[in-house]
Amino acid sequence: MPDTTPPLPKVPTIGDIEAAAERLAGVAVLTPLLESPLLNERLGGRLLVKAEPLQRTGSFKFRGAFNRISRIPAETRVNGVVAYSSGNHAQGVAAAAKMSGIAATIIMPADAPAIKRRNTEAWGARVVSYDRYREVREKIGSEIAAETGATLVKPYDDPDVVAGQGTTGLEIAAQCKALGVAPDAVLVCCGGGGLTAGIAIALADRLPGTKVHVAEPEGYDSTGQSLAAGERISVDPARKSVCDALLAPAPGVITFEINRHLVAGGLTITDDEAFAAMATAFEHFKLVLEPGGAAALAAALSGRMPMAGKTVVAIASGGNVDPAIFAKALTLTG
């Protein structure tokens, strides 16, 4: 009888992440690890914030996109790339493609934040809109790839994308070492799980005693639920959340295969907690966060992740937010 077990997906190694770091050196920003003594005093612990809004294109997504695009064979580059994204991956792919001299087509939901669409177009990409609640972006992406020969750059479920995001983890480990700190935990904003998976692989090698937790919006805690169940769980994608960057209805196949082994657990946060974290980042770190980019910080500030006596790194994963939403976050909590 033939073995019908599906093959395990190919997952990146620490060596793949180190190779990605070499490709990204001098291209991506080595983002700072920020700290506020006054906030630490309030929390009774030490909170370090990895400031990916300062990354090229305003989120960590540039890392994975550039690494993936760097690996497209010469003969295929002329056909360009295609990607689907709520906005941050869109900008990351558009910028990486432009820097690599490759044409990019980006499939974006019609209700994506205006700043994300505008910047994607400013990077020279062609933008195709779709209806988040009626159409399947993966299908549109595959069709365009089949028609044009363009390489599909997936937002998370790709070993090269995961390896690129993992460079964030290498930097955190090096920065913590320079501070003489071994963090108890690292909190990662989680959509499809690519950033989480990359960071988890990097930290398993560099900071094996540090636990990785994901922070997800209420109703979109697909990775948290999947970790608890031991298998990939899908959530209802019709639910609304202000965290537009984190609305993946299910973990990726590759990312979950990594995260199921390396991630300690999941925390959920509400829209109001995301807004409050944006206001705290405004006051204490002078950093602009988008709601989804504030999820990890929200988990630390809300008490969902106990901070007393602990050292915790929260990833601030992105800062592409429309002014009206940001002003609302400041008004709600100011």
Of 42 and 211, which CB lies nearer to its own copies in the complex structure?
A: 42
Kindly state whether residue 283 participates in binding its own copies, applying the rule CB under 8 A: yes
The single residue listed with the structure tokens 């983002």 is 31
Kindly state whether residue 29 participates in binding its own copies, applying the rule CB under 8 A: yes
In the list 78, 122, 146, 182, the residue contacting its own copies (rule: CB under 8 A) is 122
In the list 28, 43, 82, 95, the residue contacting its own copies (rule: CB under 8 A) is 95
Kindly state whether residue 54 participates in binding its own copies, applying the rule CB under 8 A: yes
Kindly state whether residue 153 participates in binding its own copies, applying the rule CB under 8 A: no
User: For helices 159-179 and 194-206, what crossing angle results, to 10°?
Assistant: 50
Q: Of 13-21, 204-212, 278-286, 303-311, which part binds its own copies (CB under 8 A)?
A: 278-286
Residues whose CB is less than 8 angstroms from the CB of residue 137 and which lie 6 or more positions away in sequence, other chains included: 84, 107, 109, 130
CB–CB of 320/58 below 8 Å? Answer: yes
Q: Which of 245, 311, 259 is nearest to 60 (CA)?
A: 245
Taking the CA atoms of residue 136, residue 236, residue 88 and residue 146 in that order, the dihedral angle to the nearest 10 degrees is: -20
Q: What's the N-to-C CA distance of the chain in angstroms?
A: 66
Q: Of 148-156, 164-172, 209-217, 326-334, which part binds its own copies (CB under 8 A)?
A: 326-334
In the list 102, 287, 299, 307, the residue contacting its own copies (rule: CB under 8 A) is 287
- Smallest gap from Cβ 30 to its own copies, in A, equals 8
Kindly state whether residue 322 participates in binding its own copies, applying the rule CB under 8 A: yes
CB-hemisphere CA count at 13 Å for 14?
12
In the list 62, 117, 285, 317, the residue contacting its own copies (rule: CB under 8 A) is 285
Taking the CA atoms of residue 208, residue 300, residue 37 and residue 310 in that order, the dihedral angle to the nearest 10 degrees is: -40
What pairs with residue 211 in β-bridges? 185
Point out which residues bind its own copies (CB under 8 A).
29, 31-32, 34, 37-38, 41, 51, 53-54, 56, 58, 95, 115, 119, 122-123, 279, 282-283, 285-289, 319, 322-324, 326-327, 330-331, 334
